[in-house]
Each structure stands twice: as C-alpha cells, then as structure tokens.
Chain A
Amino acid sequence: MMPGSVRLGVLLLCHADLDIAARMARIWAEGGAQVCIHIDANVRDRHVELMRVALADLKRVAFSARRHRCKWGAFSLVRATQDTAAQLLADHPDLTHVYLASGACLPLRPVRDLIAFLAADPERDHIESVSAWDVGWTVGGLNEERFTLYFPFDWRRRRWLFDRCVAWQRRRGIHRRLPPGLSPHLGSQWWCLTATTLRAILDDPDRPRHDRFFRYSWIPDESYFQTLARRHSVQIESRSLTLAKFDHEGRPFQLYDDHGQMLEESNCFVARKLWSGSAGLLARFPRRGEGAPDVSPPRPARFERMITRTVQRRVLGRPGLYMQSRFPRKDAENGKTSAPYAVFQGFSDIFPNFESWLQDQVAADVHGHLLGPETVEFRGRPGIGPGAISSHVAVRDRDPQGFLTALIRIAPRMQIFQFGPRDNQALNWFMATDPNACLFVVTGAWMMPLIDSAMPFDDVRRISAHLQKVELAQLNVLNSVWVKARVQVHDLTDFLARPRAILDDALRQVDPQHRGLPAGDLPPVRDTTGLPALLRRLRNSGLRPRLAGEALPQNEVATGERNAAE
C-alpha cells in the first residue's frame, strides 16, 4: 500500500489552554490530517470563539456539533469521543485511520512520518489493550472491580462517598454481569484505530447495551474502546503511539523544555502532557521532516525508565534519608540506613588501642565511641565530623537517629564505631532492627577498665551495677524476635579464651575481601590478672556479675540454681 492511501483523521479533545490546543490543531491540519475538535462544555464561549477565529483559515479543521461537559473518569469523555468520531467519519467517509489526541498532546515527529508508519501496516489498530483479569495495568487504582461494581460518584470530588460506595458493594457481594461477548480490557486512553474498526464500534447493534454498561464502570475512557476493539479489530498492536506516563496516583506527567533531548531520543510520534509554558518544546517540535518520511518505530524505553525512577523516588524514597519532605514513621522507612555499618561493643575495653589497630585492618572509617558520653569520637577526633556534624554531645542527642543516618549517608566509606553501656543507648532498637547493622558484642567487657582503676571499691561497685543493668537491657533488645541486624554476642571469658577466631570472623563479616589475620597480629590485650579477684569482690559485695561469663570456676553456683535464684 502506498503512503498516499492513508488518510488520517484526528479527534482533538480540549478542556483548557485553548491557545496551545489551537497550535496543536494547526500542526495536525497542516500535516495533512482532518481534525475534529471537541471543546469541553465547561469552557467559556469567549475562549471558544477565540479558538475558532485562530483556526478559521484551516479548511481541514472542524468543531464538534455537540459539546459535552466532561468529568475526569466519567462516561462523558467516552460520549464526547463517540460523537466527535461519528461526526468526523460522516464528514470524511474516505478516512482510513483516526487518532485520538488531546489539546495537550504534542506531535514530536512530522505528521507525514506517522502517516507513512501507519501505511506500512494499514490494517493494524494501535491501541493499548490489556486484559483486566491478568496483570494490573492500572497504577494504584482498582482493576477488574472497575467493571464488576457501580461507580456513581466522582472519585476526585466525592472521594468519601466513592470509597463508602465501593466498600458497601464489596460487603454486599455486588457483581455486575458483563454484556455477552465482551472481555474487559484496559489501556491508555490515547489510541489510533482504523476507520473500519472505529465504525464497527460506533455502529455495533449492541452499542446501547455497551454504553449502558460502561456508564457505571470506573474510568470508562481507559476501557471502552480498549474492550470493544478486542471485539471488532482484526489486528491489534497493543501499544499506544502516544507517549503518556502516569504517576502512582494516575496523574499524567507534564513535559517541560528540559525534556526536549529525551523526547527527541524517544522517537515517539506524540507525547503528552505538554505544560502550557513550554515554549521551547513548542519551538522544537514537531521535528522538521526532510527527504523521505521516517518510518522507524518509537523507542520510548529510556524516557519510561526515567519516569519509573521518579515514581519510585516518590513512592519508596531513598533508603536512610530523613529530610524535610521525607520523614518516614517507624518501620515504614524502606531502609533505616543507607549503607552497611558495623558496631564493636567491648572491644576497645579489652584492647586499649583497638580503634587504630582496626583502622589498619579494614577499608572503612573506624570511629571511637560515636555515642559516647563526653564527646562524639569521630575518627581522628576532629571538632567537626563528616558532613559538618558537630562533635558536641548535646547536638547529637537532639536527634541521635538523624545523627547516625546522616553520618552513614554522607560518608563515602563504610562506618565502624565502638559502643558500650557507657554510651547513649537511644539507638539500641534502631540498630537491632536495621538489616544494615553488624553488631559484635562482648558482654561484660566494660569491666576491664575497672580492674586497674584507682577508684574506691564502692564506686567500682556502683558503676558496675549501673553498667550491668544497661547492658542487660540492651541484650533484651538483641535477643528479641524483631532483630534484623547481624548480631554476634560473646561473653568476656569466652572471648578472652579465643580472641583470634572471633576477631577474624568479625573482620571477614565487615570486609568480605579481608584476607584473615596474619599470625601474631593481635592488638595488645589489657592486663586481665585482676579480673577474677574483681569478680569475686563484686559477688561478695552482693552484686552478681552476670555478663562476664564463667570466669570463676571455683565457688561457681550451678546454672539451674542460679536461674531459679533470680
């Protein structure tokens, strides 16, 4: 078939920004298409008159005789399309294809490209048409219930009534029966049908019944032609020629000047929805056609990926980000932190210069006690840490979770820090339920610095009692069923018995590339000779040390008895 044998008609639905719509009508008409314009009945006559005047010189442009008052998601949109299409087909019986577009649909390529493209396979209907029973095409909305329930109320204006009405029908088990011979399909409302198919839909003897059915289904403009095309069409190409993406709430994306390059690359024939101020796009598109018409098909993948990314950011957000327009409630974070981090508890008490030793072992930032009581011990102890985070304790404690998440997000490398019962415990639940966290705990290690302290024993006992209580509370968290972090807990004596194996294991977890500890490369351990004596003294003073492990084999009470005593 020759390109000349395709005669294109365009239905242009307009409801606002008529000056832009007039420009679009001009593009279509000058490209060789017959245009029939439907203007929403809500538009003031003054504006309509202006548009008529603006298009008066174009013979190919006509206006629909009847104007409908169109509401979003209502049957009136279908009615307007039907009437305008009938008028167009009646006025121009020789048309072979009809394209449905809106006043905000911008043709990107010359109309003759589209005509040539259609001529390559003139029997084909280009209409996105996805079975409603299968995978959800719609974003966020109802799927097959669009057809099985009644929708008398406007979703945007009467949302409360709409929801109540749907809930009530679900409870009552209301299920409308479809007209025979129809299988519900959904798809983009912008299509290009052959005149034969369109005539068959409009002149269907069952049309009153179809119209009655679709009048009370939801958003019939996305299903009426999509469903009926399945009944009448010979060949369906289930892809819309119009590039139209929606966000998660079903609102169309707008096109701005800075989309120009991407639209160009998409190679689509038509794109929507054009923002009325995009003068750059209006100047740039449609592309000038030179030489032979270009019949290459659209390649919208890149543009669609960009939109999908944006929708994802709107719906899921960036993990571990807390900011002025993303402040997820607890457990709705989609990632409590942005990257893995590790916490070593008790190690710095056992090995006095554990921090600098660990720094040499792993490719990560090893901090001191970030949550410590005197100051925020950033690596190298600067007054201002990464991301200009203050090292003042009061500032950190104003929002400890924000402090930790911001630090992890701003730092390019993995963050590792020391922890212990002397530190701020506000983040215990947060870290325990964060899959990014790696917690290595040596319980009772806080006792080590107390062994050689010159403090009076009364103070040592008081401090021990307090720290033990804090650590027990923390262990309750770490032993709960909600823990998502990787947690390894060892008691002090267990650790002292085989420090190399445990450290080696920890380093491998933190840094999978770690080649293992070379022999003899352990940091010096604090002197532990006084430990049994301290433990005994604590016990005899009435405080049962419960976290250090079985350090005192002599006089040790049997486990079962101990539990019973507590």
Chain B
Amino acid sequence: MKSISRLPIPDRLRRRAERQLLIARAFGRRRVLRVDADRTPLINRHDILAFVTLRNERVRLPYFLDYYRDLGVQHFLMVDNGSSDGSADYLRRQDDVSLWRTNAGYKKARFGMDWLGWLLMRYGNGHWCLTVDPDEFLVYPHCDTRPLSALTSWLDSIGRRAFPAMLLDMYPSGGIEDQPYREGQNPFEIARFFDPANYAISKNDYFGNLWIQGGPRMRAFFPQNPLAGPALNKIPLVRWYWRYAYVSSTHMLLPRRLNQVFDEEGGEMESGVLLHAKFLSTLVEKSAEELDRHQHYANSQEYRAYNAGIERGLRLWCEESREYGDWRQLEDLGLISRGNWA
C-alpha cells in the first residue's frame, strides 16, 4: 500500500491499484479463516447481512444480535478472533449466524478488514451489507417506525449505494466502572450521555470522504494533539458489489464515489449514527488485555490513553452532556439527517 502511494501516477489509477490490492489481499487471506458454523445457504436474495469481527464479547452478544434482528438484519457473518470467553460457543448456537474462526493477528489483517473483505466479496455481492463492531448500534431516521429494509429500499429507489453513520460515543454519568454491564442489558441504559456539538470535520480530497473527529474521546484523551484522536466518520451500510473494498476500518471505501455520502451544494443527504457503547464496565478488562496484545491502531495509543484514564478514575460526563432520547433529538442537534426520506 505504501509503495503505491509513492508512485508518480494519477490519483485515479492509484486508487484503482489500491483497490485491486485490497481485494487481492482479502482474497489471499481467506485461508486463515476456518469455518465453524456455515449457515450461508440460508441467505435469501434480498436479505440484509451484518458482518462482524469480535474477540471476547460474549456478554455483549445477546443484546447486539437482538438489536439488529429487530431492525431486520437477516443473517450475521461473524469472525471470531480467538475468543476465550465462550463467544464462539454462543454464536454457534444461533440460527442466523455463520461463524468463522481465526487466531491470526488482528493488526496484520488490517484490523480484521481483510477477513471481512473476503466474506463481503464472497457473500455480500448484491446485498445491503452492514459492517459493524459488537459495540456499535445503528440509529437512522425513522428507525422507531420503519425497519432497515424500508431504508435500503428507499436508498435503492434513489440510486444510493452507501449510507453514512458516524460514531457517537456514549458514556455513563459516573465513572465507567460504577455500573457493571449485565448480559442482555441495553448498554444505553448505562451509557446514556453523549456530546452534542464538539465535532471537527475536514474533507479528504484523495478519497473524497469527510474526516470527522471529536466527541468525548477527543476532549478527554487527545486535547493537545487532536489529529491523533480516533476518526468518527463511518459508512457501515453499503449495497455491496464484489469489486468494492473498505480502505480503513469502515471509514472509507473504494471506489471513491461511494464516499460521496454528503451534499456539497448546501443540501442534506440522509445519514444516521452508530451509537458506540464502548465506555462500559467491560472496557476496563478489555483495555488491559489489548495493551498486552499490541494489536490496535497506531500502537494501541488509544487503549494506552484509556488505561491511563481508568486509573485516574475516568469520567467523561460533563455539564454539557446530553441524555440520549431518540433519533429526532439527534436530528434536531444536526448529528443525523433524514435527507428527503419523508
């Protein structure tokens, strides 16, 4: 990847080469995935599919699966990266989950995207595909009254192939260890708060996407060096074609036109958010473990910061935090938009 970006060739060709390389890479890594439970023959032609990688998320899984089942996801294609807490056993018992396992390095697989890239290529072609983490919960306009298939058929009818949903970090009012998360519980009963307005946006001309940073993580962990903070822009829902590729997590895609999910003429296109239930009691164990594994982005500097924060008795809540209500609240705040989906 690095070598391509240095070659003196036009951007278009370079992007094409990068995309081919990503696809080849995903194809090449397909063998590290071992089939554990293959229920893919059950997938129907118009099903909405979810693609997930996970590691030690057993306690979160029941609510996660139910949440997306309720929205209308028909099949889950999941990669278990060496869980030791029984996640795989649990998933194997679910009728709508196909499970693959691998013990290969998360970092070496571009943070799991190579594995999912292969599954997307193999099973996602022609489907609306939702690529999320087990702590991300999609909220879109009208999600209380209309299922996901209403959204996707609307997107089909207006000729859109990608739907943006930025990460919205949710946090509890007290310390994150104060209220332990129980299995099956709605994580947003605990992590009820979010930052309404501190988001910085800039456009990446090469990929044509927006780069969004901000939220509680920025103000609590990266105030001196905001550019190092995590990116919040995501495009998790895509009508997949086997020649597409995610470039960096689900932040951006190739070909470039899929990233054009925002209006530059002043109008508003439709968008949602991924409520991010990271700041729960489960983070404590996780961040300690992840620090030892060194498998995360940029030398796990994020987890290093969390760990330091947790030791200080981390509190993300502030006077200006808002309590989450529903999608209308997010739309009024300007975090999401219904576009012209009346």
Which residues of A lie under 8 Å from residue B342 when comparing CB positions? Answer: 253, 306-307, 310
Give residues of chain A (331-349) contacting chain B, Cβ–Cβ below 8 Å: 332-334
Report the bound CA distance from A321 to B269 in whole Å. 12
Contact of B226 among A277, A317, A398 (CB under 8 A): A398
- Chain B residues near A321: list those with CB within 8 A: 268, 334
Does A162 reach chain B (CB closer than 8 Å)? no
A225 to B266, CA, bound (A): 37
Q: Does A458 contact B (CB under 8 A)?
A: no
B313-335 Cβ-contact flags toward A at 8 Å (1 or 0): 00000111100000000000111
Q: Cβ of B176 < 8 Å from any Cβ of A? A: no
Q: Could you list 15 further interchain pairs (A-B, Cβ under 8 angstroms) beyond the known A275-B154, A324-B212, A402-B199?
A: A254-B157, A258-B142, A311-B340, A317-B266, A323-B336, A326-B262, A326-B263, A327-B201, A388-B318, A390-B198, A390-B218, A394-B226, A402-B200, A407-B197, A410-B196
Across-interface contacts of B334 in A (CB, < 8 A): 318, 321, 323, 409
- Across-interface contacts of B104 in A (CB, < 8 A): none
A398 and B200: CB pair below 8 A?
A: yes
Measured between C-beta atoms, what is the minimum distance from B20 to chain A in Å?
26
Which listed residue (A276, A277, A307, A328) contacts B264, Cβ 8 A? A328
Q: How far, in angstroms, from A326 to B226 measured CA to CA in the complex?
A: 22
User: Among the listed A249, A325, A407, which residue makes an inter-chain contact with B158, where contact means beta carbons less than 8 Å apart?
Assistant: A249
Cβ-neighbour of B210 out of A327, A384, A385, A387 (below 8 A): A327
Q: List 21 A-B contacts (CB under 8 A).
A: A248-B340, A251-B157, A256-B145, A314-B269, A317-B268, A323-B271, A323-B334, A323-B335, A324-B165, A324-B201, A324-B233, A325-B263, A326-B268, A333-B266, A382-B319, A384-B320, A388-B216, A388-B318, A390-B198, A392-B223, A398-B226
The residue among B150, B197, B214, B319 with the most chain A CB atoms within 10 A of its own CB is B197
Q: Which residues of A contact B224 (CB under 8 A)?
A: 392, 394
The 10 A-B pairs with the shortest beta carbon distances in the complex, nearest first, are A387-B197, A314-B340, A399-B200, A325-B271, A388-B195, A392-B223, A334-B266, A390-B219, A258-B145, A410-B197
Interface hits, B262-278 → A, CB 8 Å: 262-271
Which among A254, A388, A402 has the greatest number of chain B C-beta atoms within 10 A?
A388
B147 at the interface (CB under 8 A from A): yes
Counting CB contacts under 8 A, is B153 at the interface?
yes
- Say yes or no: is B3 at the interface (Cβ < 8 Å to chain A): no
Q: For residues 179 through 238 of chain B, which have their beta carbon under 8 Å from a beta carbon of chain A?
A: 195-203, 210, 212-214, 216, 218-219, 223-227, 233
* Bound Cα distance A410, B218 (Å): 18
Whole-angstrom CA separation of A388 from B215 in the bound complex = 8
List A247-304 residues whose CB lies under 8 Å from chain B: 247-249, 251, 253-254, 256-258, 275-277
B319 surroundings in chain A (CB, below 8 A): 382, 384
Tell me the complex Cα distance, A257–B154, Å.
14
Cβ of B337 within 8 Å of any chain A Cβ, yes or no, is: yes
Cα distance A306–B342 when bound, in Å? 8
Q: Are B149 and A277 in contact (CB under 8 A)?
A: yes
Q: Which chain B residues lie closer than 8 Å to A386 at the CB level?
A: 197, 320
Given A256-B146, A310-B338, is A324 in contact with B262 using a C-beta cutoff of 8 Å?
Answer: yes
* A384 CB, min distance to chain B CBs, angstroms: 5
**Contact, CB under 8 Å: B147 / A277:** yes
A386 to chain B, nearest CB (A): 6
Most buried by B among A321, A325, A384: A325
The residue that A316 contacts in the complex, of B164, B264, B267, with Cβ under 8 A, is B267
B54 at the interface (CB under 8 A from A): no
Q: At the interface, yes or no: B28 with Cβ under 8 Å from chain A? A: no
Which residues in B have their C-beta under 8 angstroms from that of A317?
263, 266-268, 337
- Number of B interface residues in the complex (CB < 8 A): 60
What is the bound-complex CA distance between A249 and B233, given in angstroms? 27
Is A389's CB within 8 Å of the partner chain B? yes
- In the bound assembly, the distance between CA atoms of A307 and B157 in angstroms comes to 17
Contact of B337 among A277, A323, A387 (CB under 8 A): A323
Across the interface, which residues of A come within 8 angstroms of B225, CB to CB? Answer: 394
CB distance from B86 to the nearest CB of A (A): 36
Q: Which residues of A contact B262 (CB under 8 A)?
A: 324-327
Min C-beta distance of B117 to chain A, whole Å = 23
Q: Which residue of A lies closest to B263 (CB)?
A: A326
Judge whether A430 is part of the interface by a CB distance below 8 angstroms: no
Is B309 at the interface (CB under 8 A from chain A)?
Answer: no
Query: Which A residues are closer than 8 A to B by beta carbons?
Result: 247-249, 251, 253-254, 256-258, 275-277, 306-307, 310-311, 313-318, 321-329, 332-334, 382, 384-390, 392, 394-395, 398-399, 402-403, 406-407, 409-410
Report whether A327 and B203 are in contact in the complex, using a CB–CB cutoff of 8 Å. yes
**B residues less than 8 Å from A313 (CB atoms):** 267-268, 337-340
CB neighbours of B321 from chain A (8 A):
388
Which of B262, B265, B266, B339 counts the most chain A CB atoms within 10 A? B266
Chain B residues with CB under 8 Å of A389's CB are: 197-198, 320
Residue of B nearest to A383 (CB): B318
Chain B residues positioned under 8 Å from A249 (CB to CB): 158
Nearest Cβ on chain A to B273's Cβ, whole angstroms: 9
CA distance A402 to B212 in the complex (A): 11
Q: Which residues from A are CB-within-8-Å of B164?
A: 324-325
B276 to chain A, nearest CB (A): 14
Cross-chain contact of B318 among A384, A395, A399 (Cβ < 8 A) = A384
A329 partner residues in chain B, CB cutoff 8 A: 264-265
Give complex CA distance A415, B258 in Å.
38
A389 CB to closest chain B CB, in angstroms?
Answer: 4
B261 within 8 A of A: yes
Q: With A and B bound together, what is the CA distance between A329 and B213 in angstroms? A: 19
Chain B residue nearest in CB terms to A320: B334
**Chain A residues positioned under 8 Å from B147 (CB to CB):** 277
CA gap between A311 and B269 in the complex, in Å = 11
Which of chain A's residues have a CB closer than 8 A to the CB of B157?
A: 251, 254
* Distance to closest chain B CB from A513 (angstroms): 27
**Chain A nearest CB, measured from B118 CB (Å):** 28
A483→B142 CA distance, assembly (Å): 41
Cβ–Cβ < 8 Å partners of A392 in chain B:
219, 223-224, 226
A162 to B249, CA, bound (A): 39
Complex CA gap A328/B268 in Å reads 9
Q: How far is the CB of B230 from chain A (nearest CB, A)?
A: 13
The yes or no answer to B166 lying at the interface (CB within 8 A) is: yes
Contact at B226–A395, with CB atoms within 8 Å? Answer: yes
Q: Which of A306, A385, A389 gathers the greatest number of chain B CB atoms within 10 Å?
A: A389
Residues on B with C-beta less than 8 A from A318 are: 268, 334
Cβ-neighbour of B267 out of A253, A315, A394 (below 8 A): A315
A247 to chain B, nearest CB (A): 5
B319, chain A: closest CB distance, angstroms? 7
User: Which of A248, A258, A323 has the most C-beta atoms of chain B within 10 angstroms of its own C-beta?
Assistant: A323
Pairwise interchain contact A387-B266, C-beta atoms closer than 8 A:
no
Residue from A277, A316, A327 with most neighbouring chain B CB atoms (10 Å): A327
Q: Are B337 and A388 in contact (CB under 8 A)?
A: no
Contact (A324, B265) CB under 8 Å given A306-B342, A387-B197:
no
- The distance in angstroms between the C-alpha atoms of A384 and B337, with both chains bound, is 26
CA distance A395 to B218 in the complex (A): 8
Smallest beta-carbon distance A314→chain B, Å: 4
Contacts known (A324-B262, A384-B319, A388-B216); A257 close to B146, Cβ less than 8 A: yes
In whole Å, how far is A102's beta carbon from the nearest beta carbon of chain B? Answer: 14
A325 to B269, CA, bound (A): 5
Complex Cα spacing A386 to B266, Å: 25
Per the bound structure, the CA–CA distance linking A384 and B269 in Å amounts to 30
B269 CB to nearest A CB, Å: 4
Given known pairs A388-B318, A388-B320, the reply for A406 and B264 (CB within 8 Å) is: no
Query: Residues 244-269 of chain B: 1 if any A CB is under 8 Å from the residue's CB, otherwise 0?
Result: 00000000000000000111111111
Establish whether residues B197 and A388, one from each chain, have CB atoms under 8 Å apart when the complex forms: yes
| Cα distance A123–B201 in the bound complex, in angstroms | 61
Cβ–Cβ contact A310 & B340, under 8 A? yes
A384 near B264: Cβ-Cβ < 8 Å: no
Nearest B residue to A310, CB-CB:
B342
| Chain A residue at minimum C-beta to C-beta distance from B271 | A325
Question: A390 touching B267 by the CB < 8 A rule?
Answer: no
